[in-house]
Amino acid sequence: MAHLAPTGKWDARYLGPVPHDASYYVKCMVGGALACGTTHAGITPLDVTKCNMQVNPGKYNGLVSGIRLIAAEEGSKGLWKGFGPTLVGYSLQGMFKYGLYEVFKDTYMNLAGEEASSKYKGAIWLAGSASAEVFADIALCPLEMTKVKIQTSPAGTFPVPMFAALREMSALKADTRYPFGSLVPLWSRQIPYTMAKFFFFEYIVEQFYNRVFTAPKDTYGKPTQLGITFASGYLAGVICAVVSHPADSLVSQMGKPSNKGKGLGQIASEVGMVSLATKGLGTRVLMIGTLTGFQWWIYDSFKTAMGLGTTGGK
């Protein structure tokens, strides 16, 4: 089947059920904002507990006991600390992550040409997702730093409301390194995570349609296609959690008052790579697997509602 632009040449932007024009990319950005903002904000209690397990493992040594301890010390409100910057930050991140992935994927496919883009599709998924995440993290970084500071500061020592916390981060920027002090560790966490998330999602979706659901993709109903989306996203998320956990632990450690002014290498050396790779990992696997599955499901549900079709497959 030929996928030709109006000029008569092969064009990756015409591979799907609808042309990938400016309207398509904008809708993908909106879908990405909905997918990431709502899911990350919805699991704030898990995130609060995970960050505290990473920063103070002696005190918070398990998910359930950690949740109970935070609730006992700070009330149920303590479990929702950082909800505002999480919602705003990850909405911005998702907007660029998903929207720009579509842009970069089409751009790289067209640069490679029809034959090479088919032969090296995995490399294009990796390059497209990595490129998108560079910009997504610039948007996320100030709010992520604020979120971590809110969540890991002892009760009463740092403002909890979002705008008050942002003002405090800015006022103390010599100490907090706000707004982009965590950008490099954030890139080191999020770029491998996103590359794994998009590569394995696209790969697993393709395997489902090649090996299990072998009829043409458009012959399956939307619930079936969205079920494949969710399953693929969940499996991809488990891999993502393992890949990105050491850097995620490092970002949390940077917010710890005793680590103020220390370099990344020094913090990593003091904490130890085994601890960085394993502390809170079980919680993060549960969190990121569920999170990623629902993100892809929300994103593809929005795309389907807009008449754009689901992501990946034949």
* Cα–Cα–Cα angle for 223, 215, 122, rounded to 5 degrees: 85
Does residue 119 sit within a domain?
Answer: yes
Percent of the chain with pLDDT over 90: 64
Amino acid at 123: A
Give pLDDT tens digits for 114-137: 999 999 999 999 999 999 999 999
Does residue 313 sit within a domain?
Answer: no
Contact 49, 60 (CB under 8 A): yes
Does residue 9 sit within a domain?
Answer: no
How many Cβ atoms sit within 10 Å of the Cβ of residue 261?
7
Residue found under tokens 């092969």: 10
1 pLDDT more than 60? no
Task: List the domain range (segments joined by +) for residue 244.
Answer: 17-171+180-305
Q: What is the pTM of this model?
A: 0.84
> Which residue did the predictor score with more confidence, 211 or 255?
211
Does residue 284 sit within a domain?
Answer: yes
103 pLDDT more than 90? yes
Contact 313, 86 (CB under 8 A): no
* Longest Cα separation, the chain: 67
Contact 148, 193 (CB under 8 A): no
End-to-end CA distance of the chain: 12
Contact 297, 79 (CB under 8 A): no
Does residue 88 sit within a domain?
Answer: yes
Give pLDDT tens digits for 275-303: 777 777 887 788 788 889 999 999 999 99
- Burial group, residue 10, by CB count within 10 angstroms (0-12, 13-18, 19+): middle
Does residue 223 sit within a domain?
Answer: yes
Among candidate residues 117, 108, 277, the one with its CA nearest the CA of residue 189? 277
Interval 138-154 mean pLDDT: 93
- Burial group, residue 9, by CB count within 10 angstroms (0-12, 13-18, 19+): exposed
Does residue 8 sit within a domain?
Answer: no
Count of domains forming the chain: 1
Cis peptide before 161 (omega within 30 of 0): no
Q: For the domain that residue 117 is a member of, what is the CATH number?
A: 1.50.40.10
Does residue 312 sit within a domain?
Answer: no
